[in-house]
């Protein structure tokens, strides 16, 4: 089977049964050998349909007699695929989107409902095109079925007349339905950012993610990596203020096959995650503990920043993820990393031993939802509360690893104050021997929003990198 839409349907069916979107997609793609353009189409349809689930369900609710949750699950998935193509994929002709969706219904047990599927999608088109207009969206049929190499769905539907989606007045619900987020996430952002910035953040989070790499200065130079990739026809650009970072432009093909990967010249790591290593500022010869290390992007960066001299304890409770860390450190030819399997909350052997500790805490990932299409539907206010308890326990215990006068950096890839500012404030209230340090000795980019309190927050729609929170804490010299 090599029909991209059927493969997308199979992956989405797995997602609706509980599978992670990336796992379901990999499983579907592994079974076939597709051309790159078809793989991109399957990927876009799966991730896009998962991201835009609330919007697509609302369209079904508004256009069909039965609400989306009353439809058979597989039929709902097929309708999602049809509406996603009509609403967000300008380069797929409307006729192709409708006809292939009807065919999907026919081939997957809904032969008797092909008229319903056809009618519902055409009803959307009629509303979108305005009274009396037929054919393509905005009266223009597109002749290409291929997606752009790095498709980025627009935040608004590519319709030149009317939007069939009816939106409520309430700003939380309006943004939630239009951009497909749960109301509670929109509310969290509105309280921090206000309406205009929240809408921009929602739009940014619905883009297809970019891929950044971090060059390994112990093996190569940024110029050498640029030249090697350019000779392979792969476009990259530098990221201002990040001396080891390059960002891929457009399609890369298989990452592992690119020049320099096997040789350990570089590894994949988002720019915002690279900033964490600079804030920690590890020095050659020091003892560093990375308390939640796997899969190891920040651990290996620490080793590079220390010139691979000193000792890094990489702790994590998940052996499979630690294996990934070991593979990466071997590929990058790093010798200073020692693996320690287990929960950092229960380690007592490290008390007062570390010059610096990194606590890259488990979090809800609300700053990286563009990378994880289903994260917005998996997290809840309750799961955030549970994570904040874990984060506070980790911070309280790992702070005992730090020598008097030493440094701890707390970092997350979430934008929820309950996992960030509130965790740090509670810790400082209970720990008079610690204070926030605004590091004068570390040159961080201008775009890092340092707050009056001294912590850093990276807002994706402003800085065009993943959302992150980080703060550097220093222990008093006279602490025991």
DSSP 219-254: T--HHHHHHHHHHTT-EEEE-TT-TTEEEEES----
Region 297-318 average pLDDT: 96
Asked if residue 152 has pLDDT above 50, the reply is: no
Residues of the chain with CATH 1.10.940.10: 4-143+170-181
Residue 414, exposed/middle/buried by CB under 10 A (0-12, 13-18, 19+)? Answer: buried
Q: Out of 292, 315, 363, 413, which one is annotated catalytic?
A: 413
> Which residues are within 8 A (CB) of 454 and not within 5 positions of it... i.e. 6 or more apart?
436, 437, 438, 471, 472
Tell me which residue has tokens 């720019």: 271
Region 92-114 average pLDDT: 96
Of 19-28, 122-131, 178-187, least confident by mean pLDDT is 122-131
Tell me the sheet residues that pair with 430: none
SS3 of 21, please? helix
pTM for the model:
0.89
The dotted CATH code for 4-143+170-181 is 1.10.940.10
Residues of the chain with CATH 3.40.50.150: 271-475
Among 389, 387, 371, residue whose Cα is nearest residue 379: 387
Tokens of 327: 């593979």
Region 449-472 average pLDDT: 87
Measured between alpha carbons, how far is 115 from 458 in angstroms, rounded to an integer?
Answer: 48
Topology of 271-475 in CATH? Rossmann fold (3.40.50)
Asked if residue 477 has pLDDT above 90, the reply is: no
Measured between alpha carbons, how far is 277 from 405 in angstroms, rounded to an integer?
Answer: 19
Tell me the sheet residues that pair with 356: 288, 407
Residue 359: asked if its preceding bond is cis (omega within 30°), the reply is no
Measured between alpha carbons, how far is 317 from 447 in angstroms, rounded to an integer?
Answer: 34
CA 38 remoteness from chain centre: 23
User: Is 292 a known active-site residue?
Assistant: no
Pairing of strands 311-316, 337-341: parallel
Measured between alpha carbons, how far is 356 from 136 in angstroms, rounded to an integer?
Answer: 60
The pLDDT > 90 percentage for the chain reads 83
Region 8-28 average pLDDT: 95
Residues of the chain with CATH 3.30.70.1170: 212-268
358's enclosing H/E stretch is strand 354-360
Q: pLDDT, tens digit, for every residue of 323-344?
A: 999 999 999 999 999 999 999 9
Domain 212-268: give its CATH superfamily.
Answer: Sun protein; domain 3 (3.30.70.1170)
Mean pLDDT of the chain: 90
Q: pLDDT, tens digit, for every residue of 254-299?
A: 899 999 999 999 999 999 999 999 999 999 999 999 999 999 999 9
Q: pLDDT, tens digit, for every residue of 50-85?
A: 999 999 999 999 999 999 999 999 999 999 999 999
Asked if residue 137 has pLDDT above 50, the reply is: no
Residues making up the chain, counted from first to last: 480
Asked if residue 212 has pLDDT above 80, the reply is: yes
Tally: H helices and E strands in the chain: 18, 13
Of 19-23, 134-138, 298-302, least confident by mean pLDDT is 134-138
């Amino acid at each position: 089977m090599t029909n991209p839409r059927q493969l997308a349907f199979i992956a989405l069916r797995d997602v609706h049964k509980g599978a992670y979107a990336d796992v379901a997609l990999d499983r579907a793609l592994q079974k076939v050998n597709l051309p790159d353009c078809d793989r991109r189409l399957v990927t876009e349809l799966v991730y896009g349909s998962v991201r835009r689930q609330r919007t697509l369900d609302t369209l079904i609710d508004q256009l069909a007699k039965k609400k989306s949750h009353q439809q058979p699950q597989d039929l709902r998935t097929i309708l999602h695929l049809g509406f996603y193509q009509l609403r967000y994929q300008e380069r797929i002709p409307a006729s192709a989107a409708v006809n292939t969706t009807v065919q999907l219904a026919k081939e997957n047990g809904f032969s008797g409902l092909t008229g319903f599927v056809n009618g519902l999608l055409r009803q959307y088109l009629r509303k979108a095109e305005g009274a009396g207009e037929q054919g393509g969206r905005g009266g223009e049929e597109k002749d290409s079925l291929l997606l752009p190499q790095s498709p980025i769905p627009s935040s608004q539907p590519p319709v030149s007349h009317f939007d069939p989606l009816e939106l409520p007045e309430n700003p939380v619900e309006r943004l939630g339905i239009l951009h497909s987020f749960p109301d509670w996430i929109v509310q969290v952002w509105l309280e921090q950012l206000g309406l205009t910035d929240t809408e921009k953040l929602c739009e940014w989070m619905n883009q297809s993610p970019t891929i950044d790499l971090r060059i390994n200065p112990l093996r190569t130079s940024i110029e050498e990596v640029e030249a090697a990739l350019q000779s392979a026809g792969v476009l990259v650009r530098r990221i201002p203020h990040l001396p080891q970072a390059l960002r891929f432009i457009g399609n890369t093909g298989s990452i592992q096959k690119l020049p320099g990967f096997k040789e350990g010249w570089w590894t994949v790591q988002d720019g915002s995650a690279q900033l964490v290593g600079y804030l920690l500022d590890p020095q050659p010869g020091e003892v560093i503990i990375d308390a939640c290390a796997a899969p190891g992007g920040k651990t290996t960066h620490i080793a590079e920043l220390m010139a691979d001299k000193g000792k890094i304890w990489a702790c994590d409770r998940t052996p499979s993820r630690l294996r990934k860390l070991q593979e990466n450190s071997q590929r990058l030819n790093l010798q200073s990393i020692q693996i320690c399997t287990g929960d950092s909350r229960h380690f007592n052997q490290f008390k007062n031993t570390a010059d610096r500790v990194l606590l890259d805490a488990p979090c809800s990932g609300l700053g990286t939802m563009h990378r994880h299409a289903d994260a917005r539907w998996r997290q809840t206010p309750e799961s955030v509360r549970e994570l904040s308890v874990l984060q506070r326990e980790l911070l309280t215990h790992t702070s005992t690893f730090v020598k008097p006068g030493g440094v701890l950096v707390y970092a997350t890839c979430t934008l929820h104050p309950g996992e960030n500012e509130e965790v740090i404030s509670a810790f400082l209230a209970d720990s008079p021997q610690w204070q926030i340090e605004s590091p004068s000795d570390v040159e961080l980019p201008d775009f890092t929003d340092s707050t009056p309190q001294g912590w850093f927050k990276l807002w994706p729609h402003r800085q065009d990198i993943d959302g992150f929170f980080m703060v550097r804490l220093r222990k008093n010299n006279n602490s025991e």
